[in-house]
Amino acid sequence: MPNGNFHRVVAALTVGGALAYDENQKGQATLKPLAGAGIAAFTTNLPDILEPAKNPHHRQLFHSIMTAIAVGYTWKELYEWQPEGDAQKCLRFLLMTGCAAYLIHLALDACTSKSLPLVGKIG
């Protein structure tokens, strides 16, 4: 079963790698892939912060397919957003990276024998 460290490594490599690939395709070279990897590693365990493994409600609402759909939709909306200033661009980057990391966590959990519930319970 994936643990917190495994989630962090996979999220960092996936997000950092995707950002590096995108920059390579555009002929750019910035620290954005490194920043994205760090943010992803930091935020990927948010589902386990919201529903700790010690909690009897672990893998309920915040570990559900429904939440994955909501986070995926949020990522899509952020992708289509055209920020106007540097602060909005930074916010967009942070939120998109956090959404991607959250989805990576859920994808890893979905591959375990316990998988993910469709909706889950609240409280």
Question: How do the domains of the chain map onto residue ranges?
Answer: 4-110
- This model's pTM is above 0.85: yes
State the Cα–Cα distance between residues 17 and 22, nearest whole angstrom.
9
Band (pLDDT 50/70/90 cuts) for residue 66 is very high
27-51 mean pLDDT: 96
Q: How far apart are CA 16 and CA 35, in angstroms?
A: 8
Q: Is residue 78 a contact partner of residue 117, using CB atoms and an 8 Å limit? A: no
Residue type, 17: G
Residue that wins the pLDDT comparison between 119 and 27: 27
pLDDT band at 88 (very low <50, low <70, confident <90, very high): very high
pLDDT-based confidence at residue 58 (cuts at 50, 70, 90): confident
Burial of 46 (C-beta count, 10 Å sphere; 0-12/13-18/19+):
middle
Task: Report, as an integer, the average pLDDT of 106-117.
Answer: 92
| 28: Cβ contacts below 8 Å, ≥ 6 apart | none
